[in-house]
């Protein structure tokens, strides 16, 4: 460490501090760049969160629609049809009056007119819609999951476990808080979003205790994932999990409005103007200093010649 001389005694040999004309524009551009970058990043994230909320609303509404009818029945006629996916119960009818007579007579209905109704509950319908959306190649996908599941195909992934943990903890503190409703993470360029599914009284018919569950649940291997029970009314029971890609920054650039480009041009012009003003001020100061030095040199020459 070198000790600096006290400022009250200026040393004439001290080098003049150079005017760093290039430093302010770099600081300004870096500051602007940083704030624009962080702002657009959070804007893109919020836009994706709002998209994910729309998807979650849609999933809830599909469930609400199906609940209105206590689930829906998918009808097949004849016996040549493929079984329409999973279902809770299946009921077959032969509505042809002649056949009913034959049926009662010989217990051998005309299989072509046999109508079969496959009962699907809301969660099953939501999952089937999710499967259709995934198959369609849509950029957003969603699913219904829970900490423990009836259908092992609905088992949660690592993100979903974290989301349910965070939501459960938040709900224990304040069930009405925003953190008790949803949770999201950005990983790579994708948004992972979860919305809490809260158990209602009606859910307990199937999701209460395994031993109380309806026969059709207990006996169906598709729903014997080893869990899916123990729901408590008013408590988080599961998760609507949505994931979608964040918009690409390159596509943002392509869609930048003319006014934004005009703004950037103005900032660049302003900077160039500022720099040129600084450089001109520096040159003028330099010229003034040179003139002063020349005047002082002339004066000292004059005084030394008059002394001699
Ligand atoms: C009639 C029985 C029944 C009722 C009532 C019912 N569920 Fe389910 N639930 C099921 C079946 C069956 C599945 C498995 C669906 C599948 O195969 O994807 C399921 C799956 C789920 C899942 C996905 C995780 C898992 O266990 O596979 C959640 C979450 C869920 N139900 C929540 C609810 C909620 C919340 C309610 C009340 C609003 C409710 N369920 C009412 C039968 C029922």
Q: Which of 150, 164, 201, 204 to mutate to test the pocket of ligand 1 (most atoms within 8 A of CB)?
A: 150
Answer yes or no: are the C-beta atoms of 157 and 164 closer than 8 Å. Answer: no
Task: List CB contacts of 216: < 8 A, sequence separation 6 or more.
Answer: 88, 89
Give CA separation, 37 vs 102, 135, 227, 267, in Å. 76, 35, 45, 16
* Cα 126 to averaged position of ligand 1 atoms, centre (Å): 10
Please give the distance of CA 93 from its chain centroid, rounded to a whole number.
47
Nearest residue CA, atom 40 of ligand 1? 203
Q: 126 CB under 6 A from ligand 1?
A: no
Whole-angstrom distance, CA of residue 127 vs CA of residue 138: 15
- Cα gap 140→243, rounded to integer Å: 6
Each domain of the chain, given as residue ranges in start order, spans 48-70+121-245, 72-120
Closest protein CA for atom 9 of ligand 1: 123
pLDDT of residue 78: 80
Cβ-proximal residues to 126 (8 Å cutoff; 6+ apart), any chain: 59, 62, 63, 66, 144
pLDDT at 16: 58
What's the pLDDT at 2?
Answer: 43
CA of residue 207 to ligand 1 center, whole Å:
7
Strand partners, 146: 238
Beta-strand ranges (E) seen in 78-221 are: 90-94, 114-120, 141-146, 182-187, 190-198
CA atoms within a 13 Å half-sphere pointing along the CA-CB vector of 210 = 12
Q: Using alpha carbons only, give the angle 33, 38, 41 rounded to the nearest 5 degrees.
A: 120
Q: Model-level pTM? A: 0.79
For the chain (length 308 residues), average pLDDT per consecutive 10?
A: 45 58 82 89 91 96 92 86 82 67 58 84 93 92 94 95 97 94 94 96 91 88 88 94 89 86 92 88 93 94 78
Distance CA 220, CA 216 (A): 6
């Amino acid at each position: 460490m070198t000790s600096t001389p006290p400022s009250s005694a200026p040393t004439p040999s001290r080098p003049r501090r150079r005017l760093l004309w290039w430093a302010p524009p770099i600081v300004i551009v870096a500051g602007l760049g940083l704030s624009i970058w962080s702002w657009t990043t959070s804007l893109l994230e919020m836009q994706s969160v709002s998209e994910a909320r729309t998807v979650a609303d849609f999933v809830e509404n599909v469930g609400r629609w199906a609940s209105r009818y206590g689930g829906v029945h998918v009808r097949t006629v004849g016996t040549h049809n493929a079984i329409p996916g999973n279902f809770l119960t299946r009921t077959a009818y032969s509505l042809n009056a002649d056949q009913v007579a034959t049926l009662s007579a010989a217990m051998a209905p005309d299989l072509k007119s046999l109508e079969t109704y496959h009962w699907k509950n809301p969660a099953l319908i939501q999952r089937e819609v999710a499967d259709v959306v995934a198959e369609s190649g849509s950029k957003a996908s969603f699913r219904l999951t829970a900490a423990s599941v009836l259908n092992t195909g609905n088992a949660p992934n690592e993100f979903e476990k974290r989301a349910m943990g965070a939501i459960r903890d938040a709900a224990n503190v304040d069930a009405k808080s925003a953190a008790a409703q949803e949770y999201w993470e950005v990983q790579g360029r994708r948004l992972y979003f979860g919305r809490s599914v809260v158990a209602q009284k009606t859910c307990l018919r199937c999701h209460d205790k395994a031993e109380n569950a309806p026969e059709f649940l207990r006996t169906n291997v598709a729903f014997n994932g080893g869990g899916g029970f123990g729901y408590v009314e008013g408590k988080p029971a599961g998760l609507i999990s949505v994931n979608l890609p964040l918009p690409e920054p390159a596509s943002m650039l392509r869609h930048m409005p003319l006014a934004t480009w005009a703004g950037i041009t103005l900032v660049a012009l302003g900077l160039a103007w500022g720099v040129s003003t600084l450089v001109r001020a520096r040159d003028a100061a330099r010229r003034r200093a040179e003139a002063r030095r020349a005047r002082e040199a002339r004066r000292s020459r004059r005084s030394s010649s008059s002394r001699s």
